[in-house]
Amino acid sequence: MKNIFIGVLIIVALIFLSDRIYKIYSLHFVNSHESIILINNRLLLDEIDSFFNLEKGTFNPTEHQIVFSLFKRDGYSLEYYINLPVKNNNGQLAGTEFECNIKYESVRPYRFYDYEVKNRNIIVRVIEKNTNVIRQLNSNQIIAQKYFPGVYQFGKINIFNVNKSGITRHCN
């Protein structure tokens, strides 16, 4: 009976220890079922209309915004999108981009899990500024949208540049 009790205690201690190690690891590194996508928006204001195949002068930065998103698998609470963090570098300021050596701790709030996304497409939309960006939108709230195939990977921080040619990987 004493040996069984000691065996159970050892098993419980090993489970507790492995849980602690996993939690510490998860605080500092991206797990294989997580991904983080960061976007450097390098579209110039005069390139946005041609990027979305809009009539020249349609995009107005005071009335419209560009949102980068992923489709959520389940629309619970009517939230249909996971919006991606974006740094805009419209040719005005240098150094306003996500860098390759970014630390996981600083971008951990932006992570998502593989079971949360419906497909791997990145959606780039021009919407009205006063629109709720995570709920499903009706057709007159979306000015334009484009889909790009999901070139991101799970288990790492993915940084992409968006310019008039499309989406390219910033870091390998």
Residues 149-165 pLDDT 10s: 877 888 888 988 888 88
- State the chain's mean pLDDT as an integer: 83
Among 43, 44, 49, 47, which residue's Cα sits nearest to residue 68?
A: 43
Among 85, 81, 74, 52, which residue's Cα sits nearest to residue 157?
A: 85
The whole-number pLDDT of residue 141 equals 77
Confidence band, pLDDT 50/70/90 cuts, at residue 76: low
Distance CA 51, CA 143 (A): 13
Phi, psi (degrees; rounded to nearest 5) at 171: -130, 150
Mean pLDDT computed over 77-101:
70
Whether residue 139 is predicted with pLDDT greater than 80 in this model: the reply is no
Confidence band, pLDDT 50/70/90 cuts, at residue 116: confident
The whole-number pLDDT of residue 61 equals 86
Distance CA 89, CA 47 (A): 13
The pTM score is: 0.78
